[in-house]
Structure 1
Amino acid sequence: MLGVSSTGPAPSPTFAKLGVAHEICTALAERGIVNTFAIQELTLPIALDGSDIIGQARTGMGKTLGFGVPLIDRVFDSADVAELDGTPRALVITPTRELAVQVSADLTQAAKHTPVRVTTVYGGRPYEEQIATLSDGVDVVVGTPGRILDLYQKHALQLDQVAILVLDEADEMLDLGFLPAIEKILQALTHKHQTMLFSATMPGPIITMARSFLHKPIHIRAETETESQTHATTKQVVLQAHRMDKVAIMVRALQAHGRGRTIIFTRTKRSAAETAQDLAQAGFTVGAVHGNLNQDAREKSLTAFRNGTIDILVATDVAARGIDIDDVTHVINFQTPEDPMTYVHRIGRTGRAGNTGVAITLVGYDELHKWQSINSELGLATPEPPRWFSTSPELFTALNIPPDAQDSVGPAKRVFGGFSSTERLRGHKGATTRPSRKANS
């Protein structure tokens, strides 16, 4: 494999300067996107040429447009891609439904002034509507491995004309156990095609897959080997917090000066539901995204978060992998992440695209060993976080919280798409009694 690395600050050329079609540049400019990020600058010339690529960059570095722009460009107007006839010319595989929706939206925007049609397929939706869309004709399919494989095996999805294949967040697909399904899809692509594999990390099975299915891939890294895995634009505040005081700390942190869109990560679906209720009780506009919600409810919450209807989203890790928003100002780890990479992915949701951000991690007293493992692996130099409470002056100073911050900001509200925080869940169809917080740390 050939290696390409950026070494230090580099100029930021425009998409137009790198040879991207005028129609695509116009569509990107309408979103205020003119200049490239590092991964895009490195990827575009190689991808537009049709070469196989392994792209490696941290969360929030612009990977989606790194593969999405050349994909649309080549499907739209490349001599080695067959004329559009309603059968897919490109296939993008993502690990989660939410990420599939986000990637599809970005590609649709980039293709706005071209005839390229993009569709999304994933589980949790009726087969019939997706089969009907495919039958009507599409040029780019974005989807999750299981549903893509099912539609292919049902002969509803044609893969024999796919000229470009993208595997997005490959390491996440490994973690979620999707590699067998992906290998079956890859085995169906027996004809010559371009493959682009993007991943934040490169574990052994991903490297093995790359060697098996990619042809002389060029390995692109958007940072140096020794660069920190966390964004320099993100201020990291880590503290030990008593489990009974975590909600009160969050309530005050959410009143910090400059606080905008905020994502709060929890370890479990139950914790996500409870935390969202607690914050709604304190008067915040909040939604939740977790596995106990149906797909419609999750999509409504994500859409509301993106368009500003709600400015706080409580999410589990898997559900949050489709959130690709550049102006998240704060991320809060309500519980210590399970491992270093989860920590990196979580806090990578802020400090993106040149913006600054704040990442707050609440380490329960029984989670200290877990935090110390993360601290050691990432070299964060905070092995023994300070013990602060919701009333600690140090907390107010570190997070720029106004001195008059209260334990609520107004009347109790409904969790977006859910019950009012003052309503009892018992008696509502499909609801369960609120579980005790005692189990949470």
Structure 2
Amino acid sequence: MDNDHLSETTFKSLGLHDSLLLGLEEAGFTHCMPIQAATLPLALKKRDVAGQAQTGTGKSAAFLLATMHHLMTTPIEEGKIGPWAVILAPTRELALQIHKDAEKLGYFTGMEFACIYGGTGYDKQRRQLEQGVDILIGTPGRIIDFYKQRVFSLENVEVAVLDEADRMFDMGFISDIRYLLRRMPPPDRRQNMLFSATLSERVKELAWEHMNDPETVEIEPEQITADKVKQQLYHVENSDKIGLLLGVLREHDVTRTMVFVNTKRAADQVTGYLLGNDIKAAVLSGDIPQKKRERLLTDFQQGNLPVLVATDVAARGLHIPDVSHVINYDLPQDAEDYVHRIGRTARAGAEGDAISFACESYVYSLPDIEAYIDQKIPAELAPPELIAEDIQPPKRVDSQRRGGPRGGGKRDGGGRRRNGGQRRASQ
């Protein structure tokens, strides 16, 4: 968590279950971030919460702690089996990140967490569900697939969480979400939490339909001080983008530069070209094992790894300090993402540079971005002398795919909640 943005509230002051305090202590967290300080006192009283918060504000820890506290302090009826909580996310990367956070914060609870998402790991995920899980985290489509096959039941769900609800709408998941929520106990018989970057009318409507009189909590997005960020935009043809990137990196001191792209495939491609042209770089991807990710971030911070290439999803929720330059290799398709990206280089009042490429594929995002930040970005055609011509072929990039997360390992810790054992009768 980012020490510059902590509140006065300590986790110890909230009355959290001992197993969670142990997990927080082990992870080195003492004070709440603002969204946690605002939502946890409500959620720990089992109130429903609709929170407006940007990614990277610590909201996943807020809803995970509230969910696990609820489950650890509420006895179960004899003979009932989980899952007891379902956490829905719009993307596989975000689901994996939430799952990692759950395993870290919930390490001493003895609970089983499953991460269920499309694309890979079908049989492994199915087996994990069949063995019984306490908290189910994942994307709607794959969860519905297993539910329709009766691999698990939703009838004993006590906590339902929707993360990034606005993106759920954008990605067309809302009918899937309604399908799942309607098969759980009614809203007044479960605790509900919803988080969204914007509490738009459609998100509020979803909240009122499927929640129990939720408390609204709004955390102001971190204001970007545009005067601290020097913004520059180059109009460039798609075919010249790699050359322009190499030219820009050679011209600037590139220690701690983040290059943002819109797809995982572009991240691999760009990193391959950087490595092929003697620029040390790595892909920051949502599916890199936690230890490797931490090592990458440490190398980046210490200046041993000058360039990190990332998508918005991969960088989401990560505090990456001391970024000197942000390069938008692809203009983001969402104006808010532009603000998140360039804000990484002006943390704690530091000055920074943000350089954006406007190509045929993504230039259409520019009017929305300029309207959102209420200013024109200084722009010019990419100067021919800045576009490198001596481009070496790319090197192969190891995408570090691992075929999905490790399933919740069998841990000591007593009080296991699986399959409706005595996992929380001893309160």
Smaller-chain TM-score bracket? 0.7 to 0.9
Residue 206 (structure 2) pairs with residue 212 (structure 1): no
User: Letter of the aligned partner of 1:193 in structure 2?
Assistant: R
Match of 1:324 in 2: 317
Match of 2:74 in 1: 78
Residue 352 (structure 2) pairs with residue 364 (structure 1): no
Quick one: distance in 2 between partners of 1:250 and 1:231? 25
Match of 1:142 in 2: 137
Moved more, 109-118 or 239-248: 239-248
* Secondary structure, aligned partner of 2:287: helix
Match of 1:333 in 2: 328
* Secondary structure, aligned partner of 2:27: coil
Residue 118 (structure 2) pairs with residue 123 (structure 1): yes
Shift of 1:58: 1.6
Which among 189, 193, 196 is matched to residue 199 of structure 1? Answer: 196
Residue 293 (structure 2) pairs with residue 299 (structure 1): no
Quick one: distance in 2 between partners of 1:73 and 1:345? 31
Shift of 1:408: 9.9
Q: Deviations over 1:357-400 (max 9, x none)?
A: 95624243777774343122222x334346675978xxxxxxxx
Residue 45 (structure 2) pairs with residue 49 (structure 1): yes
Structure 2-normalised TM-score? 0.76
When residues 61 and 270 of structure 1 are mapped into structure 2, their CA distance, relative to the original with a 3 A threshold, is: closer
**Percent identity at matched positions?**
29
Quick one: distance in 1 between partners of 2:95 and 2:351? 25
Is this contact kept in 1: 2:85–2:159, CA < 8 A?
yes
Quick one: distance in 2 between partners of 1:16 and 1:232? 37
Match of 2:416 in 1: none
User: Letter of the aligned partner of 1:332 in structure 2?
Assistant: I
Quick one: distance in 1 between partners of 2:331 and 2:156? 46
* Secondary structure, aligned partner of 2:368: helix
Is this contact kept in 2: 1:363–1:371, CA < 8 A?
no
Shift of 1:203: 2.9
Which among 367, 382, 396 is matched to residue 414 of structure 1? Answer: 396
* Secondary structure, aligned partner of 2:13: coil
Which among 32, 35, 39 is matched to residue 35 of structure 2? Answer: 39
Is this contact kept in 2: 1:67–1:166, CA < 8 A?
yes
Quick one: distance in 1 between partners of 2:376 and 2:335? 14
Is this contact kept in 2: 1:119–1:141, CA < 8 A?
yes
When residues 338 and 279 of structure 1 are mapped into structure 2, their CA distance, relative to the original with a 3 A threshold, is: same
**Greater per-residue helix proportion:** 2
When residues 270 and 93 of structure 1 are mapped into structure 2, their CA distance, relative to the original with a 3 A threshold, is: closer
Shift of 1:170: 0.8
Structure 1-normalised TM-score? 0.73
Higher relative contact order (CA 8 A, sep 6+): 2
Q: Deviations over 1:328-368 (max 9, x none)?
A: 6354211322342342354466778x796956242437777
Residue 139 (structure 2) pairs with residue 151 (structure 1): no
When residues 408 and 108 of structure 1 are mapped into structure 2, their CA distance, relative to the original with a 3 A threshold, is: farther
Is this contact kept in 1: 2:283–2:309, CA < 8 A?
yes
Q: Which runs of 5+ in 2 are unaligned?
A: 401-427
Quick one: distance in 2 between partners of 1:349 and 1:409? 29
Q: Deviations over 1:309-344 (max 9, x none)?
A: 895554555xx2574322263542113223423423
* Secondary structure, aligned partner of 1:16: helix
When residues 357 and 112 of structure 1 are mapped into structure 2, their CA distance, relative to the original with a 3 A threshold, is: farther
* Secondary structure, aligned partner of 2:318: coil
* Secondary structure, aligned partner of 2:11: coil
Moved more, 41-50 or 272-281: 272-281
User: Letter of the aligned partner of 2:201 in structure 1?
Assistant: G
Quick one: distance in 2 between partners of 1:248 and 1:301? 31
Quick one: distance in 2 between partners of 1:12 and 1:142? 30
When residues 415 and 13 of structure 1 are mapped into structure 2, their CA distance, relative to the original with a 3 A threshold, is: same
When residues 178 and 339 of structure 1 are mapped into structure 2, their CA distance, relative to the original with a 3 A threshold, is: same
Quick one: distance in 2 between partners of 1:408 and 1:28? 50
Shift of 1:155: 0.8
Shift of 1:300: 4.3
When residues 130 and 348 of structure 1 are mapped into structure 2, their CA distance, relative to the original with a 3 A threshold, is: farther
Q: Deviations over 1:268-319 (max 9, x none)?
A: 66644542332122223445589xxxxxxx73488744431895554555xx
Q: Deviations over 1:194-236 (max 9, x none)?
A: 110000012332222111111110000112xxx6654889845
Quick one: distance in 2 between partners of 1:23 and 1:234? 42
Aligned-residue CA RMSD (Å)? 3.8
